[in-house]
Amino acid sequence: MFGRYLNFVRGVATNWWGRLGVILTTSSFVCMVVMELARLVGLITSSYAGLVSYMVFPALFILGLLLIPIGWRRLRKQTGKSSRELRESKFGKEFGVASFGGSRLFRTVAVLSVVNIVFLLIVSSRMFAFMDTAEFCGTACHSVMNPEWVTYQQSPHARVDCVQCHVGEGAEALVDSKLNGLWQIASVTFDLLERPIPTPVHQLRPARQTCEKCHWPDKFYGHRLKTITRYGHDSASIRLYTTLSLKVDAGTIQRRGGIHWHIAQENEVRYASVEDKREKIIWAEVLRPDGSYHRYTSTDDAAIGRDALSVRTMDCVDCHNRATHIYELPDRAIDDRIQKGVLDRSLPFLKREALHAVSAGYVSREAAMEGIANHIHGFYQRHYPDLARSRVMTLDSVITVLQGIYNRNIHPGMKIEWRTYPSHIGHVGEGGCFRCHNPRMVDENRSAISSDCALCHSMLSNGHDDPFQYLRPADTLSPDYQMHLYLQQEFMTSSKSNGP
Ligand code: HEC
Ligand code: HEC
Ligand code: HEC
Ligand code: HEC
Ligand code: HEC
């Protein structure tokens, strides 16, 4: 068998083309098998190796197969002999003699073709499976995907594969995504990619086919108590709590009032925005039970008279646009690290100085690393020289943590700065929920989409050292007495009506 193969190989390796073809096919085949074995026993784990064994080698293998017939044709042209004459001179007469099941040559070619096809099928199915792993998506085009990979690994979805949100199920999705993937590989190779990668992402599958495979709107979420911890800019970096009871639940037609109302089965909210960013809204409308739409139009100068560039039905990602690729704001990142205990609040003015250190504009990553260290050392050496000497280790660890915050959120190579990808959950400035929930979004009766502070959350504390400030008995002498009572009662009644 092997001898026959060698004989055959010698026959097809006629000229330069044929020889190159044989070398490519054979060597890439052997390499792929060896790498696959190494991967199976765990010797190879890098996704670059996957890229080579599932993409480069198969490509070389196929190229080799193509070169062989090209070589054959060239040979025929050069020698002017017929195929039959050539066959006989190359493989010997007896090789071409017809017998049961065709000539030996024919059988060799047939067997090799079947082997090739089976082999390519196995490789391509392995390749597709490999291309669906988060490691591949996150690290194969390292320079480009690194920001998404970094943020993904620290997100609630770190165990969900990229393709479950980006591709969804079904053949159409698969083909779409592979074409898109090829385009991406090409654009990375030829550096055609826009930086930062523009959002919103249009190729995202509808949330019904992705998010709703795991979370569905009619699931009962109830209210969610959330305490946000912040630290002040004073010397003690004082701790302050804001506690919200978020009314997440979709509610029901009879009893409205929940955040997931927008995407409940029977509801539909559509909106049009000025630009593709979906940030400046022109109008938003709600489907009425009679099938008509109730429209609210923006009276903002920036929106009046503008053509609707993109009209969209709201789904999960209109609010959860940062479900996984969560970029932090500098002060929130620092608050988070203090709360986790990795930044030591006993250093005077820690919060204020840490914020200065990370958010100063730096021209490059190297400049930032140096600048952060210089700022922290400089500040404590100038104002607290004793401390700078006695707590060298603490200061070094502060610097490392702050450099970590910078590296997680800022990616100069992809032009990702603070606030490049704002989150739509909540309302920083006029964004997030306040894109629609603001007094300037009015219907024909001039009544606005509600921005009542208790529409979306009860408030149990607002920047106070007591996380349940408003649940305590109200002080009749305080100027906030009325508000205190109102917030307390609002929480009691909204919690009570939560449920049938
Ligand atoms: C839980 C779902 C989910 C998972 C898992 C997920 N993504 Fe995303 N991704 C999104 C959503 C939603 C957006 C859209 C953001 C927008 O349109 O503003 C997005 C946007 C992106 C973008 C555009 C840039 C940006 O930050 O908005 C890239 C690139 C990306 N994802 C890559 C990946 C990679 C690589 C992985 C796996 C390592 C991954 N995603 C995993 C949901 C997900
Ligand atoms: C394959 C299943 C899966 C898919 C698809 C998925 N998620 Fe999740 N999601 C989860 C799991 C599991 C958690 C809980 C993680 C935990 O509690 O640690 C979660 C958590 C969440 C949370 C709560 C995060 C928090 O801070 O507690 C939100 C919001 C969320 N997902 C939104 C989305 C959105 C939006 C999409 C679609 C773009 C999506 N998910 C797609 C599995 C999924
Ligand atoms: C694209 C526009 C738009 C955005 C963005 C938006 N909403 Fe709404 N929301 C609406 C409209 C329209 C209504 C219904 C107004 C009415 O009562 O007719 C509504 C109603 C609500 C209600 C009341 C539901 C009910 O049962 O009556 C809540 C709560 C709510 N939104 C919370 C939020 C939160 C929280 C966010 C941000 C995370 C948000 N919305 C973002 C358009 C929007
Ligand atoms: C109108 C904006 C909006 C839309 C649309 C929306 N959500 Fe949410 N969702 C929120 C807000 C606000 C919260 C509470 C945020 C928090 O806990 O910090 C939330 C919370 C969640 C949670 C966590 C619940 C918990 O109790 O921990 C999940 C999971 C979730 N959403 C999934 C989804 C999915 C899936 C969709 C689409 C079917 C969706 N959301 C649509 C605004 C929205
Ligand atoms: C349309 C819904 C909606 C309305 C109206 C609304 N909020 Fe919020 N608010 C949210 C959501 C959602 C969050 C984000 C919670 C989170 O971080 O997950 C939030 C967060 C907050 C926070 C915490 C911010 C932080 O991170 O420190 C404060 C304070 C707050 N809201 C105050 C208000 C006040 C005051 C009003 C009235 C002017 C108001 N909200 C109106 C939805 C709303």
Find the farthest-apart pair of alpha carbons in the chain and give their distance in angstroms, rounded: 113
For the chain, domain boundaries: 2-131, 151-197, 224-323+424-496, 330-414
Q: Which ligand lies nearest the alpha carbon of 258?
A: 3
Ligand 4, atom 9, residue with closest C-alpha: 248
Q: How far apart are CA 395 and CA 377, in angstroms?
A: 7
Gyration radius of the chain's alpha carbons: 32
Distance 455 CA to ligand 5 centre (A): 10
> Is 338 a pocket residue for ligand 2 (Cβ < 6 Å)?
no
Q: Is 207 in the pocket of ligand 4 (CB under 6 A)?
A: yes
Neighbours of 280 (CB within 10 A): 16
φ/ψ of residue 331, rounded to 5 = -70, -30
Assess whether the C-beta atom of 145 lies below 6 angstroms from ligand 1.
Answer: yes
The verdict on the CB of residue 456 being under 6 Å from ligand 5 is: yes
Ligand 5 atom, smallest distance to 462 CA: 29
Whether 286 lines ligand 3, by a CB cut-off of 6 Å, is yes
75-90 residues labelled b (16+ CB within 10 A) or e (exposed): beeeeeeeeeebbbeb
Residue 433 makes CB contacts below 8 A (sequence gap 6+) with 319, 424, 426, 427, 456
Per-residue pLDDT of the chain (500 residues; tens, 9 = 90+): 677 777 788 877 778 888 899 999 999 999 988 988 888 888 877 767 777 778 788 889 999 999 988 888 888 888 888 888 888 887 777 666 666 667 777 888 888 889 888 988 888 888 878 877 887 878 777 678 889 999 999 999 999 988 888 887 777 777 777 777 777 777 777 777 888 988 888 878 888 888 988 998 777 788 899 999 999 999 999 999 999 999 998 766 555 668 999 988 888 999 999 888 888 999 999 998 899 999 999 998 888 888 877 789 999 999 999 999 999 999 999 999 999 999 999 999 999 999 999 999 999 999 999 999 999 999 999 999 999 999 999 999 999 999 999 999 999 989 999 999 999 999 998 899 999 999 999 999 999 999 999 999 999 999 999 999 999 999 999 999 999 999 999 999 887 654 44
Nearest of 81, 99, 102 to residue 90 by alpha carbon = 81
Beta bridge partners of 270: 285, 313
Out of 201, 277, 410, 423, mutate this one to test ligand 1's pocket (max ligand atoms within 8 Å of CB): namely 201
Is 269 touching ligand 2 by the criterion CB < 6 Å? Answer: no
Query: What is the DSSP-derived secondary structure letter of residue 411?
Result: B
Could you say which DSSP state residue 177 is in?
A: H
Residue 84 CA to ligand 4 center (angstroms) comes to 72
Contacts of residue 124, Cβ cutoff 8 Å, sequence gap at least 6:
58
Q: Is the CB of 433 under 6 A from ligand 3?
A: yes
Ligand nearest to the CA of 284: 3
What number does the ligand 4 atom closest to the CA of 315 have?
5
Angle ∠(111,114,118) on CA atoms, nearest 5 = 140
Say how far apart CA 75 and CA 174 lie, in whole Å. Answer: 42
Provide the sign of the torsion angle of the four alpha carbons 84, 90, 96, 101, taken in this order. negative
Cβ contacts of residue 150 below 8 Å, gap of 6+? 407, 408
Q: Which two tokens stand for residue 242?
A: 């804001």
For helices 365-383 and 392-409, give the axis angle rounded to 10 degrees. 150
CA of residue 442 to ligand 5 center, whole Å: 21
**Cβ proximity of 210 and 164 under 8 Å:** yes
pLDDT attached to residue 500: 45
Ligand 5 site, residue 247, Cβ cutoff 6 A: no
Instruction: Please state, in angstroms and rounded to a whole number, the distance separating the CA atoms of residues 201 and 277.
Output: 10
Provide the 8-state DSSP code for 497. Answer: T
Find, among 109, 132, 127, the residue nearest to 32 by Cα: 127
Query: How much is the pLDDT for 95?
Result: 66
Extract the tokens encoding 460.
């149990």
Ligand 2 atom 6 nearest Cα: 211
Residue 255's pLDDT is: 56
Q: How far is the CA of 163 from the centre of ligand 1 (A)?
A: 9
End-to-end CA distance of the chain: 77
DSSP β-ladder status, 281-287 and 310-313: unpaired
Per-residue tokens: 344: 């030591």
Q: Evaluate: CB of 414 within 6 angstroms of ligand 1.
A: no
Q: Which of 239, 247, 336, 453 should be mutated for ligand 5, with most atoms under 8 A from CB?
A: 453
Atom 12 of ligand 1, nearest CA residue:
321
Cα(156) to ligand 2 centroid in Å equals: 6
- Is 347 a pocket residue for ligand 3 (Cβ < 6 Å)? no
Instruction: Using alpha carbons, select from 80, 61, 52 the residue that is nearest to residue 20.
Output: 61
Residues 6+ apart with CB under 8 A from 1: none
Instruction: Determine which residue's CA is closest to atom 3 belonging to ligand 5.
Output: 456
Quick one: pLDDT at residue 498? 47
Burial of 21 (0-12, 13-18, 19+ CB in 10 A): buried
C-beta of 324 in contact with ligand 1 (< 6 A): yes
Global pTM reads: 0.88
**Cα–Cα distance between 159 and 178 in angstroms, integer?**
22
| Listed residue (422, 423, 431, 427) closest to 273, CA to CA | 431
